């Protein structure tokens, strides 16, 4: 009979003493903790903080974590080892589920587009359809508008409206830490 071996701890006391926060993976549906290497919701807990403290705060990203030392620098502690994916990126528009991440990736890959925003808007007119609007910070460019319309329609099967807005209208670095890429301005039932 084999002797049972003890599992190594997820983190050492020395590692925790150096860290400001603890990252953990949880199942987004149940809140159950997940093991390293699994994909789950990123939850942050402050370790050495006064005032407002976060305890298993869900950031809104699906990630894969590793606690193994980094092969490049040797740092110990939690590392995100796969590209994070945002949760809540499926939006129903005109009866279709639209993955906003696909639209973001499509627009980010296009030359000539800096800041942009995806807006789901309602329409007050009776019988009018919901609108998918792509706002772009730059001067009006009919050729770019046609290309954006073509690519977004090919990516998500919805024809967007394209609006050009003044620089700084979508994202002001002095007022916000992060650009809001997706807005849902439809009236809530």
Instruction: For 16-37, write each residue's pLDDT tens digit.
Output: 556 777 888 888 778 888 888 8
Residues 78 and 23 sit within 8 Å (Cβ to Cβ):
yes
Instruction: Convert the pLDDT of each residue in 131-178 to its tens digit.
Output: 999 999 999 999 999 999 999 999 999 999 999 999 888 876 677 667
Tokens of 119: 């807006």
Residues of the chain with CATH 3.30.300.30: 90-184
Distance CA 3, CA 7 (A): 13
Look at the domain 90-184 and name its fold: GMP Synthetase; Chain A, domain 3 (3.30.300)
Bridge-based pairing of strands 39-46 and 116-121 is unpaired
Kindly report the CATH number that applies to the domain delimited by 13-86: 2.30.38
Nearest of 11, 148, 163 to residue 76 by alpha carbon: 11
Residues of the chain with CATH 2.30.38: 13-86
Residue 8, pLDDT > 50, answer no
Better pLDDT: 188 or 82: 82
pTM: predicted TM-score of the whole model, two decimal places: 0.55
């Amino acid at each position: 009979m084999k002797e049972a071996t003890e599992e190594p701890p997820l983190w050492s006391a020395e590692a925790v003493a150096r860290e400001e926060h603890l990252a953990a993976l949880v199942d987004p549906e149940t809140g159950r903790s997940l093991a390293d290497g699994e994909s789950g919701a990123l939850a942050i807990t402050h370790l050495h903080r006064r005032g407002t403290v976060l305890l298993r705060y869900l950031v809104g990203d699906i990630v894969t974590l590793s606690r193994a030392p980094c092969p490049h620098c040797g740092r110990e502690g939690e590392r995100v080892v796969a590209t994070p994916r945002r949760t809540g990126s499926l939006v129903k528009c005109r009866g279709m589920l639209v993955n906003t991440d696909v639209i973001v990736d499509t627009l980010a890959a296009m030359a000539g587009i800096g800041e942009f925003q995806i807006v789901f808007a309602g329409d007050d007119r009776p019988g009018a359809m919901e609108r998918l609007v792509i706002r772009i910070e730059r001067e009006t460019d009919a050729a770019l508008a046609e290309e954006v319309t073509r690519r977004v329609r090919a990516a998500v099967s919805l024809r967007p409206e394209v609006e050009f807005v003044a620089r700084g209208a979508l994202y002001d670095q002095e007022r916000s830490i992060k650009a809001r890429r997706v807005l849902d301005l439809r009236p809530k039932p």
